[in-house]
Amino acid sequence: MEEENKNNLIDSIAPPALEVSSNYLRLGNKFVKTMFIYNLPRYLATGWFSGIVNMPELLDISIFIHPVETGLALRQLRKKAAEVESGLMERQEKGLVRDPLTETAFQDIESLRDSLQQAREHLFKVGIYITFYTNTLEELNKLESKITTQLESRLVYSKPALFQQLDGFNSTLPINSDSLLILHPLNSGPLSSLFPFISANLTSDEGILYGINRSNNTLIIFDRFSLENANMVVFAKSGSGKSYATKLEALRLLMMGIDVLIIDPENEYENMASAVGGSYFRISLTSEHHINPFEIPIIPQGEDPNDVLKSHIVNLTGLLKLMMGKISPEEDALLDRAVSETYASHDITVGKDFSSATPPLLEDLQKILENMEGGQGMAQRLYKYTQGSYAGFTNQPSNVDIKNRLIVFSIRDLEEELRPVAMYIVLNFIWNLIRANLKKRVLIVDEAWVLMKYEDGASFLFGLVKRCRKYFLGVTTITQDVEDFLRSPFGRPIITNSSLQILLKQAPAMIDLVVKSFNLTEGEKSLLLEAAVGEGLFFAGLNHVAIQIIGSFLEDKIVTTKPEQILEQKQAE
Choose between 392 and 246: higher pLDDT. Answer: 246
Task: Give the count of beta carbons closer than 10 Å to the beta carbon of residue 312.
Answer: 21
pLDDT, residue 216, reads: 67
Model confidence at 6, in pLDDT bands (50, 70, 90)? low
CA distance 255 to 204: 17
Element (H, E) at 187: strand 184-187
Task: Give the count of beta carbons closer than 10 Å to the beta carbon of residue 119.
Answer: 8
Asked if 170 contacts 36 with a C-beta cutoff of 8 angstroms, the reply is no
Q: Residue 209: pLDDT above 80?
A: yes
Report the mean per-residue pLDDT for the chain: 83
- Choice among 110-119, 260-269, 303-312 with the minimum mean pLDDT: 110-119
Q: Where are the beta strands (DSSP E) in 237-278?
A: 259-264
CA distance 82 to 71: 17
pLDDT, residue 328, reads: 86
Element (H, E) at 309: helix 305-324
Express each pLDDT in 128-151 by its tens digit: 999 999 999 999 999 999 999 989
Element (H, E) at 341: helix 329-344
Residue ranges of domains in the chain, CATH in brackets: 17-192 (no CATH), 229-291+401-573 (3.40.50.300), 292-397 (1.10.8.730)
Q: How far is CA 332 from the centre of its chain?
A: 40
Q: Residue 11: pLDDT above 90?
A: no
CA distance 431 to 435: 6
Q: Residue 570: pLDDT above 70?
A: no
Express each pLDDT in 462-503 by its tens digit: 888 888 888 889 999 998 877 777 777 888 888 888 889 999
- Choice among 197-211, 426-440, 443-457, 518-532 with the minimum mean pLDDT: 197-211
**How much is the average pLDDT of 353-382?**
86
- pTM (predicted TM-score): 0.63
**How much is the average pLDDT of 47-62?**
81
Express each pLDDT in 333-361 by its tens digit: 898 889 889 988 888 887 777 777 888 98
DSSP sequence for 356-375:
TPPP--HHHHHHHHHTSTT-
CA angle 435, 437, 439 (to 5 degrees): 105
How many alpha carbons lie under 13 Å from residue 566 in its C-beta half-sphere?
A: 11
- Exposed/middle/buried for 431, CB within 10 Å: 0-12, 13-18, 19+? buried
CA distance 151 to 163: 22
**How much is the average pLDDT of 95-116?**
71
CA distance 423 to 138: 49
Q: Where are the beta strands (DSSP E) in 257-390?
A: 259-264, 279-282
DSSP sequence for 489-540:
TTHHHHHHT-SEEEEE---HHHHHHHHHHHT--HHHHHHHHH--TTEEEEEE
CA distance 103 to 83: 12
Q: Residue 64: pLDDT above 90?
A: yes
CA distance 332 to 323: 13
